[in-house]
Chains A and B, each alone.
Chain A
Amino acid sequence: MSDTPLIELRNLVKHFTLSNGLFGRNKVVLKAVDGVDLLIRRGETLGLVGESGCGKSTLARTLIRLFQPTSGQMLFDGVDIAEMGEHALAPYRRRMQMIFQDPYASLNGRMTVRALIAEPLEIAGIGDEASRRVRVDQLLDTVGLNPDHATRFPHEFSGGQRQRIGIARAIALNPDLVICDEPISALDVSIQAQVVNMLEDLQAELGLTYLFITHDLSMVRHISNRIGVMYLGKIVEIAPNDALYKAPAHPYTQALLASIPVADPEARRDSAPMRGEVPTPIDIPSGCRFRTRCPFATDLCASVEPPLRELDGGHFAACHYAEKVMGRQMEAA
Chain B
Amino acid sequence: MTAPLLSVSDLRTSFFTSRGEVQAVRGVSFELRPGEILGIVGESGSGKSITCMSLLGLLKSNGRVIGGSALFEGQDLLTLDDRDLRRLRGDEIGMIFQDPMTSLNPTLTVGEQVIETILRHRRISRAAARQRAIELFELVRIPSAAKRLRSYPHEFSGGMRQRVMIAIALSCDPKLLIADEPTTALDVTIQRQVLALLKELQSRLGMAVILITHDLGVIAETADRVLVMYGGMVMEEAPVRRIFARPSHPYTRGLLASIPDLRDGAHQRLTPIPGSPPDMRHPPAGCPFAPRCTHAMAQCANVLPPVYDVEPGHGSRCWLHHPEAPRVEGVNDRELA
Contact = CB atoms under 8 A, between A and B. Distances in A.
A224 B220 CA distance: 25
A266 B241 contact: yes
Nearest to B279: A158
Contact of B217 (A200, A258, A260, A273): A260
Nearest to B191: A259
A220 B233 CA distance: 32
A189 B184 CA distance: 14
A256 interface: yes
B273 A260 contact: no
Interface residues of A, number: 42
B44 A188 contact: yes
A292 interface: no
A261 B192 CA distance: 8
B157 interface: yes
Contacts of A188: 43-44, 214, 277
B272 A190 contact: yes
B189 A196 contact: no
B265 A264 contact: no
Interface in B223-268: 240-241, 244-245, 254-260, 262-263, 265, 267
Given A246-B265, A259-B192, A261-B195, A194 B272 contact: yes
B188 interface: yes
Contact of A193 (B187, B216, B263, B270): B270
B255 A51 contact: no
B216 A274 contact: no
Contacts of B220: 261-265, 267-268
A263 B265 contact: no
A218 B218 CA distance: 13
Contacts of A274: 189, 192-193
A68 interface: no
Contact of B272 (A193, A256, A266): A193
A222 interface: yes
A41 interface: no
Contacts of B128: none
Contacts of A52: 187
Interface in A188-217: 188-194, 196-197, 200, 215, 217
A255 B220 CA distance: 19
B188 A190 contact: no
A262 B221 contact: yes
A188 B255 CA distance: 10
A233 B160 CA distance: 23
B276 interface: yes
A280 B33 CA distance: 43
Q: In this complex, which of B254, B262, B277 has the most chain A Cβ atoms within 10 angstroms of its Cβ?
A: B262
Given A52-B187, A222-B270, A262 B276 contact: no
A221 interface: yes
A119 to B, nearest CB: 25
Contacts of A218: 217, 259-260, 262
Give the dominant DSSP class at A's interface: helix
Contact of B159 (A260, A263, A277): A277
A222 B263 CA distance: 11
B270 A273 contact: no
Given A188-B277, A273-B193, A273-B196, A263 B44 contact: no
A160 B270 contact: no
A217 B270 CA distance: 15
A274 B189 CA distance: 7
Contact of B188 (A196, A246, A256, A263): A256
A52 B158 CA distance: 11
Contacts of A193: 257-259, 270-273
B259 A273 contact: no
A197 B191 CA distance: 28
Contacts of A217: 188, 262
Contact of A189 (B160, B195, B258): B258
Contacts of B189: 51, 255-256, 259, 273-274
Contacts of A245: 262, 265
Residue of B188, B219, B255, B265 most packed against chain A (CB within 10 A): B188
Nearest to B187: A51
Interface in B1-57: 43-44
Interface in A271-316: 272-274, 277-278
Nearest to B217: A261
Interface string A8-35: 0000000000000000000000000000
Nearest to A241: B265
A263 B258 contact: no
A97 B43 CA distance: 30
A242 interface: yes
B123 interface: no
A217 B263 CA distance: 12
A263 B256 contact: yes
A219 interface: yes
Nearest to B222: A261
Contact of A262 (B160, B258, B263, B292): B263
Given A192-B259, A264-B263, 8 more contacts: A215-B188, A218-B259, A261-B217, A265-B220, A265-B241, A265-B244, A273-B189, A277-B160
Interface of A: 51-52, 158, 160-161, 188-194, 196-197, 200, 215, 217-219, 221-222, 242, 245-246, 255-256, 258-268, 272-274, 277-278
21 contacts: A52-B187, A190-B43, A190-B254, A190-B255, A190-B292, A194-B273, A218-B259, A218-B260, A218-B262, A260-B188, A261-B192, A261-B195, A261-B215, A261-B221, A266-B241, A266-B245, A268-B221, A273-B189, A274-B189, A274-B192, A277-B190
Across the A-B interface, the 5 shortest Cβ-Cβ residue pairs: A261-B217, A193-B272, A222-B260, A51-B187, A190-B273
